[in-house]
Chain A
Amino acid sequence: MPSNKTAESTAINRQLIELRKRFGTSLYVFFMLSVTLSALAIVYLLYETRQMKISILDDLTAIADLKATQIANWKNERYEDAKQLYETPMLQQMASAYLQHGDSEHSKVLLTQWMNLYYKQNDYSWIALLNPQGQPVLSIPSGNSAPKEDHFVYVKAAMDSLKIICSDLHKDKNSAKVSGEGIYYSFWVPVLNPSNPQSKALGVWLLQIDPTITLYPIINSWQGSSKTAETLLVRRDGNDVLFLNELRHREDTALKLRYNIESNPQLPAARAVQGLSGVMEGIDYRGVKVVSSICGVYGTPWKIVAKIDKSELYLPLRRRIHLVSFIGLVMIILLAMAIREMQRRRDADWLKQQLVLEQEKALLQEEQRKIALEWQSTFDSISDAIWLLDKDNKIIRANKATYSYLSNPDTEIIGNHCWNAVHNLEAPFKDCPYARMANTKQRAISEVRNGDRWLMITIDPILDENKELIGSVHIMRDITSRKLSDEALRESEYTFRELFEHMSSGVTFYEPIDDGKDFRITSINSAGERITKRKREEIIGYRIREVFPGVEEMGLLSVLEKVNATGLPIQYETHYYHDKVLSAYYDNYVLKLETGYIVAIYDDATQRMEAEIALSSLNEELEQRVEERTAQLALANQELEAFSFSVSHDLRSPLRGISGWSQALLDEYEACLDEQGKEYLNRVISETQRMASLIEGLLKLAQISRAELSPLDVDLSALAEEVRDRLLEQATHPQVEFEIQPNLRALGDKDLLEVALTNLFGNALKFSMKRELPKIEFGKVPNQEKTVYYVRDNGAGFDMEHASKLFGAFQRLHKASEYPGTGVGLATVQRIINRHGGRIWAESQSDAGATFFFTLQEQS
Chain B
Amino acid sequence: MNNKIILLVEDNPSDIELTKRALSKSHIANKLVIKEDGQEALDFLFTECSVGRGLLPTLVLLDLKLPKVDGLEVLKRIRTNELTRRIPVVILTSSGEKMDIGTSYDLGANSYIRKPVDFNQFVNAVNGLGLYWLVINEAPGA
The answer to whether B119 touches A649, judged by C-beta atoms less than 8 angstroms apart, is: no
The answer to whether B118 touches A657, judged by C-beta atoms less than 8 angstroms apart, is: no
User: A645-B97, A699-B96 are contacts. A657–B15 as well, Cβ < 8 Å?
Assistant: yes
Asked whether any CB of chain B lies closer than 8 Å to the CB of A771, the reply is no
Q: How many residues of B contact A (CB 8 A)?
A: 18
Instruction: Give the nearest-CB partner of A693 in chain B.
Output: B117
Complex CA distance for A664 and B14, rounded to whole angstroms = 12
Which of A654, A656, A661, A663 has most chain B Cβ within 10 Å? A656
Asked whether any CB of chain B lies closer than 8 Å to the CB of A677, the reply is no
The answer to whether B94 touches A649, judged by C-beta atoms less than 8 angstroms apart, is: yes
**12 A-B pairs (CB sep. < 8 Å):** A645-B97, A655-B117, A656-B115, A656-B117, A657-B15, A659-B119, A660-B18, A661-B18, A663-B119, A664-B119, A688-B118, A692-B117
Question: Closest CB-CB distance, B15 to chain A, in whole Å?
Answer: 6
Asked whether any CB of chain B lies closer than 8 Å to the CB of A652, the reply is yes
Instruction: Give the nearest-CB partner of B14 in chain A.
Output: A657
Contacts of A657 in B (CB 8 A): 12, 14-15, 18
What's the dominant secondary structure at chain B's contact region? loop
> In the complex, which of the residues B95, B97, B119 contacts A656, with contact meaning CB atoms closer than 8 Å?
B119
The answer to whether A689 touches B21, judged by C-beta atoms less than 8 angstroms apart, is: no
Question: Closest CB-CB distance, A828 to chain B, in whole Å?
Answer: 15
Contacts of B46 in A (CB 8 A): none
Complex CA distance for A74 and B116, rounded to whole angstroms = 188
Q: How many residues of A contact B (CB 8 A)?
A: 22
5 nearest A-B residue pairs (beta carbon):
A657-B14, A692-B117, A663-B119, A660-B119, A660-B18
Instruction: Give the nearest-CB partner of B12 in chain A.
Output: A653
Asked whether any CB of chain A lies closer than 8 Å to the CB of B120, the reply is yes
> In the complex, which of the residues A653, A659, A703 contacts B94, with contact meaning CB atoms closer than 8 Å?
A653
Complex CA distance for A703 and B65, rounded to whole angstroms = 19
> In the complex, which of the residues B94, B97, B98, B122 contacts A660, with contact meaning CB atoms closer than 8 Å?
B122
Contacts of A691 in B (CB 8 A): 117
Question: Closest CB-CB distance, B52 to chain A, in whole Å?
Answer: 32
Interface residues of B in 59-76 (CB under 8 A from A): 65
Contacts of A656 in B (CB 8 A): 14-15, 18, 94, 115-117, 119, 122
Interface residues of B (CB under 8 A from A): 12, 14-15, 18, 21, 65, 94-98, 115-120, 122
Contacts of A699 in B (CB 8 A): 96
Contacts of B21 in A (CB 8 A): 660, 664
Scoring A residues 639 to 666 as 1 if CB is less than 8 Å from chain B, else 0, what string do you get?
A: 0000001000110111111011111100
Complex CA distance for A691 and B117, rounded to whole angstroms = 10
Complex CA distance for A659 and B116, rounded to whole angstroms = 10
Instruction: Give the nearest-CB partner of B65 in chain A.
Output: A649
Interface residues of A in 692-713 (CB under 8 A from B): 692, 699, 703
Complex CA distance for A654 and B94, rounded to whole angstroms = 11
Please name 10 further chain A to chain B contacts, defined as beta carbons within 8 Å, in addition to the given A649-B94, A685-B118, sorted by A numbering: A649-B97, A650-B94, A652-B94, A652-B115, A653-B14, A654-B14, A656-B15, A660-B21, A663-B119, A663-B120
Instruction: Give the nearest-CB partner of A666 in chain B.
Output: B119
Interface residues of A (CB under 8 A from B): 645, 649-650, 652-657, 659-664, 685, 688-689, 691-692, 699, 703
Contacts of B14 in A (CB 8 A): 653-654, 656-657, 660-661
Contacts of A655 in B (CB 8 A): 117
Complex CA distance for A664 and B22, rounded to whole angstroms = 10
Complex CA distance for A650 and B120, rounded to whole angstroms = 20
Complex CA distance for A230 and B105, rounded to whole angstroms = 170
Instruction: Give the nearest-CB partner of B115 in chain A.
Output: A656
Contacts of A662 in B (CB 8 A): 119
Contacts of B94 in A (CB 8 A): 649-650, 652-653, 656
The answer to whether A659 touches B118, judged by C-beta atoms less than 8 angstroms apart, is: yes
Contacts of A649 in B (CB 8 A): 65, 94-95, 97
Contacts of B96 in A (CB 8 A): 699
Contacts of B97 in A (CB 8 A): 645, 649
Question: Closest CB-CB distance, A595 to chain B, in whole Å?
Answer: 76
The answer to whether A689 touches B95, judged by C-beta atoms less than 8 angstroms apart, is: no
Contacts of B122 in A (CB 8 A): 656, 660
Question: Closest CB-CB distance, B113 to chain A, in whole Å?
Answer: 13
Instruction: Give the nearest-CB partner of B116 in chain A.
Output: A656
Contacts of A650 in B (CB 8 A): 65, 94
Question: Closest CB-CB distance, B96 to chain A, in whole Å?
Answer: 7
Instruction: Give the nearest-CB partner of B25 in chain A.
Output: A667
Complex CA distance for A691 and B118, rounded to whole angstroms = 11
Contacts of A654 in B (CB 8 A): 14
Complex CA distance for A663 and B21, rounded to whole angstroms = 11
Contacts of A659 in B (CB 8 A): 117-119
Question: Closest CB-CB distance, A434 to chain B, in whole Å?
Answer: 108
Contacts of B120 in A (CB 8 A): 663
Contacts of B12 in A (CB 8 A): 653, 657
Instruction: Give the nearest-CB partner of B114 in chain A.
Output: A652
Complex CA distance for A660 and B94, rounded to whole angstroms = 14
Instruction: Give the nearest-CB partner of A663 in chain B.
Output: B119
Which of B65, B97, B98, B119 has most chain A Cβ within 10 Å? B119
Complex CA distance for A659 and B120, rounded to whole angstroms = 9
Contacts of A685 in B (CB 8 A): 118-119
Question: Closest CB-CB distance, A820 to chain B, in whole Å?
Answer: 16
Contacts of B98 in A (CB 8 A): 703
